Each structure stands twice: as structure tokens, then as C-alpha cells.
Amino acid sequence: MPDRARIVVHPPTSTGGRRVVAHIHAEDSVLGTAYTLADVAEFLRRIGVDDPDAVLAAGDPLMEWRGGGPEVWAASPGEAPGAGP
């Protein structure tokens, strides 16, 4: 895993899923849309994280959760379609 990497999991959209973006050396790379925590773990595996389950379970500083933590997968009522940064 490259130094200074950060993974941002964006808020859930009204249509479902959370966009997952890797920020590595000041560059952004969209990893995909996660619908479950297992999807996020798979994205982490694909970018070379040795033990993604440990990173997710430990609240690792590598992870930034926006719009709710790893337990939130549905948009809040009244949220606009596609809302989120």
C-alpha cells in the first residue's frame, strides 16, 4: 500500500451504495460503489491492503467515513438523489 494513502467512503446515495475513493499521493481514484462492508474490504484487497478486515474492524486512520460509519448503507429520508461530495 503506498504511503500516505487514505480511503474515503462517501455518504449513501438515495439509489443505494456508497462511492469509495482512494486518495494516494494527492491523486484520487474511484474504487467503485460499495453496497456492503464486504465490498469495501474487496476494494481494499484490490489496492494491496494486506488485512482489510483488520483495517475495517479497528477504525484505522486509513479510513474516512462520511455520512455515517460502516454500519450505514441507506440514505437518510429526504436526501436528494446522488447527494454527497
What's the CA gap between 71 and 73, in Å, rounded? 7
Other Cβ atoms closer than 10 A to 56: 20
Beta bridge partners of 32: 20
Mean pLDDT for the stretch of residues 46-65: 90
Quote the number of domains for the chain: 1
Mean pLDDT for the stretch of residues 55-61: 85
pLDDT given for residue 5 in this prediction: 66
Identify whether the C-beta of residue 84 lies closer than 8 Å to the C-beta of residue 13: yes
Q: What is the pLDDT of residues 33-51, one digit of tens each?
A: 999 999 999 999 999 999 9
pLDDT given for residue 78 in this prediction: 59
What's the CA gap between 4 and 6, in Å, rounded? 7
Would 11 be classed as within a structural domain?
no
What's the CA gap between 22 and 62, in Å, rounded? 10
Would 40 be classed as within a structural domain?
yes
Helix extents (H) in 19-71: 37-46, 52-57
pLDDT given for residue 73 in this prediction: 92
For residue 46, the enclosing domain spans 1-6+35-71
pLDDT given for residue 1 in this prediction: 45
Q: Is the pLDDT of residue 85 over 60?
A: no
Would 15 be classed as within a structural domain?
no
Would 28 be classed as within a structural domain?
no
